[in-house]
Amino acid sequence: MSTTRRDFIRFVVAGSITAGCPIDLSLLAVGSEPVQVDGDHYLVCHQIRDGHRFAHPPATRKYDVVIVGGGVSGLTSAYLLRDEDFLLLEKEPHWGGNSYEEEYNGALYSTGGAFVDGEESAINLSKEIGLPQLPVDNWDGSIINGEFVPDTWGDGLDHLPYPQHTRDSFKRFRESMLAIDLEKREVELDSVPLRKFLEGYAPEVKQWWDTFGPSNWGAASEETAAGLVVDVVQTTAGANRKDRRTTWPGGLGAISKRLSEVLHLHQDRMLLNAETVAVVPQKHGVNVTFSRNGKLETVAAKGVIMATPKFITARIVEGMPQTQRTAISQIHYIPYPVVNLIYDRPVFNLGYDTWCPGNIFTDITVADWVVRNQSGYKQKYNILTCYTPMRREERSTLLTEDGCRRVAGKVLRDFQKLSPNNNVDPVEVRIYRRGHPMYMALPGNYKHVLPVARQPMERIFFANTDSEGPVSTTAGGIDAAHRAVKEYTVGTNATLHTT
Ligand SMILES: Cc1cc2nc3c(=O)[nH]c(=O)nc-3n(C[C@H](O)[C@H](O)[C@H](O)COP(=O)(O)OP(=O)(O)OC[C@H]3O[C@@H](n4cnc5c(N)ncnc54)[C@H](O)[C@@H]3O)c2cc1C
């Protein structure tokens, strides 16, 4: 595609590398260097990272519990505590965190979380809040050498457009994964990298998992805990396989949106654009200082639930034990933009989630897949969500709008090269950038690191999906909320009201 042609396509950049940091610089404590704030406000977040301290004004209000972070985990915590005197603080101008939906002329699409994989906590919660789940019912295909192959790890392995010996290698790998007793070897398989299990197979097998891993759990085969792949192969290619996945148009953003709607009655206790800068244990409670509308405010609480990612949590919570800080420093996060290609005609509708090894993006989902067969539905826009996980050393590319546009441009270029049918111009290309949204499922993370990172402090409790594992999921965020709320009630002797 020529540069001139691309210039006619509208590129929209949203989100920010630190997920926004709307802080008035004048609030910074004395002694900070003057900095220039640009559209993404990341400089101030980096100042927090670098240890700047904020003033802590005296507490002006009291709550039973303050929840910090309005992603799905914080929203679920608020939902479980809806009859209590809670305050929910979210720094972005919208709820949802990494599960956030957007729309184009009424057509919903995802900027992050895609589907629930049969996890009961997510299914039960969505039922309870009146959001019927819609089945995906489509095994993932792959596009290899320009050819779409349905059901990659099922019948697809017989049809991969590779030489016979490469296809055989894929099949041998599948058989060896199916033969492993995962339950018996769970702890061992959490601590060894997948690389060891790929030795002796065709490089294309490794390439396939180096595509799948970063998209699903932030790590390629060198750094992936092997048990995850054993589990995926057994679930997708085992004798009793069943596609358990469900979603909605807009992906898992639908669940956060619905939670925020259900909590509408309590909106005076749910603050957007409220960035927490300090959580400080007191003798009989905890003080939380946050910035909103250019002002710092402190509130007092009996307990606090931190539903923020741990790399932020560790910088805001004072008095955290060193062992917990050390564990948190071992959790690594990848930069992960998501590019949505918006077409006003059908361009690609062959499968829900399609893997594309060898491209800048790893996989594509079709935004309206689960409603496409509903009677009366007509696809107005074919919106393709291209997952584009990046390596940690590439994070700075997302700091500038120009860097983001380059990434989005490469996604479009690679998509158009996949097949001649794709060589159509979209009406718009949107990139949603996030600097640290997904923790990596590194060997040892699940069994050894996360249990220490989530240890409750006396009156401070830890939610967020990065408390749970083995991989970053919306269900993990929901599970973490249930556990943190329970710990809060026990830790503060709270008696919950029920409606
Ligand atoms: C591209 C992508 C694809 C994914 N696909 C899937 C999928 O298909 N299925 C699945 O189950 N999961 C998926 N996930 C993972 C899933 O989206 C996350 O696990 C889930 O959304 C995490 O929710 P959370 O509330 O625990 O954390 P977060 O979403 O990280 O929420 C934390 C919130 O805290 C806020 N915050 C941070 N600092 C502060 C502060 N100082 N003060 C106040 N607020 C603050 C943030 O703005 C954010 O809203 C995907 C993730 C990504 C990035």
- Per-residue pLDDT tens for 452-493? 999 999 999 999 999 999 999 999 999 999 999 999 999 998
**Whose CA is closest to atom 52 on ligand 1?**
112
Helix (H) or strand (E) holding 385: strand 382-387
The answer as to whether 467 is a domain residue is yes
pLDDT in tens, 233-283: 999 999 999 999 999 999 999 999 999 999 999 999 999 999 999 999 999
- 34 alpha carbon to ligand 1 midpoint, in Å? 31
- 345 and 431, same domain (yes or no): yes
Rounded distance between C-alpha atoms, residue 462 and residue 467, angstroms = 7
- Per-residue pLDDT, 144: 97
- Per-residue pLDDT, 452: 98
- Per-residue pLDDT, 16: 62
Judge if the beta carbon of residue 307 lies within 6 A of ligand 1. yes
> Using 50, 70 and 90 to split pLDDT, how confident is the model at 10?
confident
Domain of residue 167: give its range: 153-237
Judge if the beta carbon of residue 356 lies within 6 A of ligand 1. no
Average pLDDT, the chain: 91
The answer as to whether 247 is a domain residue is no
Close Cβ partners of 283 (under 8 Å, ≥ 6 residues apart): none
Mean pLDDT for 395-405 is 91
- 110 alpha carbon to ligand 1 midpoint, in Å? 13
**Last-in-domain residue among 419, 439, 459:** 439
**Whose CA is closest to atom 6 on ligand 1?**
113
Rounded distance between C-alpha atoms, residue 494 and residue 116, angstroms = 32
- 395 alpha carbon to ligand 1 midpoint, in Å? 17
> Using 50, 70 and 90 to split pLDDT, how confident is the model at 499?
low
Does residue 17 surpass a pLDDT of 70? no
- 70 and 205, same domain (yes or no): no
Judge if the beta carbon of residue 351 lies within 6 A of ligand 1. no
- Per-residue pLDDT, 460: 98
The answer as to whether 242 is a domain residue is no
The answer as to whether 389 is a domain residue is yes
The answer as to whether 413 is a domain residue is yes
Close Cβ partners of 411 (under 8 Å, ≥ 6 residues apart): 339, 341, 360, 361, 386, 388, 429, 431
| Cβ neighbours of 379 (radius 10 Å) | 16
Q: Pick from 215, 245, 246, 308 the residue to mutate for probing ligand 1's pocket: most ligand atoms within 8 Å of its CB.
A: 308
Judge if the beta carbon of residue 365 lies within 6 A of ligand 1. no
- Per-residue pLDDT, 242: 92
Does residue 343 surpass a pLDDT of 80? yes
**Whose CA is closest to atom 20 on ligand 1?**
474
- 416 alpha carbon to ligand 1 midpoint, in Å? 30
Return the half-sphere exposure (C-beta side, CA atoms, 13 A cut-off) of residue 36: 2
Q: Pick from 41, 89, 98, 109 the residue to mutate for probing ligand 1's pocket: most ligand atoms within 8 Å of its CB.
A: 98
Judge if the beta carbon of residue 465 lies within 6 A of ligand 1. yes
- Per-residue pLDDT, 209: 98
| Cβ neighbours of 247 (radius 10 Å) | 25
- 312 alpha carbon to ligand 1 midpoint, in Å? 13
Rounded distance between C-alpha atoms, residue 484 and residue 478, angstroms = 10
- Per-residue pLDDT, 494: 87
Judge if the beta carbon of residue 136 lies within 6 A of ligand 1. no
Mean pLDDT for 33-61 is 59
> Using 50, 70 and 90 to split pLDDT, how confident is the model at 420?
confident
Mean pLDDT for 403-410 is 93
Judge if the beta carbon of residue 353 lies within 6 A of ligand 1. no
- Per-residue pLDDT, 9: 67
Structure tokens at 53: 């301290």
If one compares 419 and 148, the residue with the highest pLDDT of the two is 148
Ligand 1: atom nearest CA of 92 is 47
- 164 and 79, same domain (yes or no): no
CA 417 to chain centre: 28
Mean pLDDT for 394-412 is 93
- Per-residue pLDDT, 497: 74
- 45 alpha carbon to ligand 1 midpoint, in Å? 17
- Per-residue pLDDT, 132: 86
Ligand 1: atom nearest CA of 387 is 1
- 87 and 110, same domain (yes or no): no
- 421 and 460, same domain (yes or no): no
- 51 and 200, same domain (yes or no): no
Rounded distance between C-alpha atoms, residue 426 and residue 416, angstroms = 10
Does residue 30 surpass a pLDDT of 60? no
**Last-in-domain residue among 173, 206, 237:** 237
Ligand 1: atom nearest CA of 20 is 47
pLDDT in tens, 134-191: 999 999 999 999 999 999 999 999 999 999 999 999 999 999 999 999 999 999 999 9
Does residue 46 surpass a pLDDT of 70? no
- 321 and 393, same domain (yes or no): no
- 325 and 349, same domain (yes or no): no
- 71 and 214, same domain (yes or no): no
CATH code for the domain of 400: 3.90.660.20
- 322 and 349, same domain (yes or no): no
- 433 and 469, same domain (yes or no): no
The answer as to whether 246 is a domain residue is no
Judge if the beta carbon of residue 473 lies within 6 A of ligand 1. yes
The answer as to whether 341 is a domain residue is yes
> Using 50, 70 and 90 to split pLDDT, how confident is the model at 56?
confident
The answer as to whether 128 is a domain residue is yes
Does residue 100 surpass a pLDDT of 60? yes
> Using 50, 70 and 90 to split pLDDT, how confident is the model at 47?
low
Judge if the beta carbon of residue 299 lies within 6 A of ligand 1. no
Q: Determine the residue type at 51.
A: G
CATH code for the domain of 451: 3.50.50.60
- Which SS3 state, helix, strand or coil, does residue 117 take? strand
> Based on the structure, what is the number of domains in the chain?
3
Judge if the beta carbon of residue 102 lies within 6 A of ligand 1. no
Judge if the beta carbon of residue 472 lies within 6 A of ligand 1. yes
- 227 and 203, same domain (yes or no): yes
Rounded distance between C-alpha atoms, residue 439 and residue 437, angstroms = 7
Rounded distance between C-alpha atoms, residue 339 and residue 404, angstroms = 10
Structure tokens at 474: 């919306």
Judge if the beta carbon of residue 305 lies within 6 A of ligand 1. no
Judge if the beta carbon of residue 89 lies within 6 A of ligand 1. yes
- Per-residue pLDDT, 348: 97
Ligand 1: atom nearest CA of 464 is 26
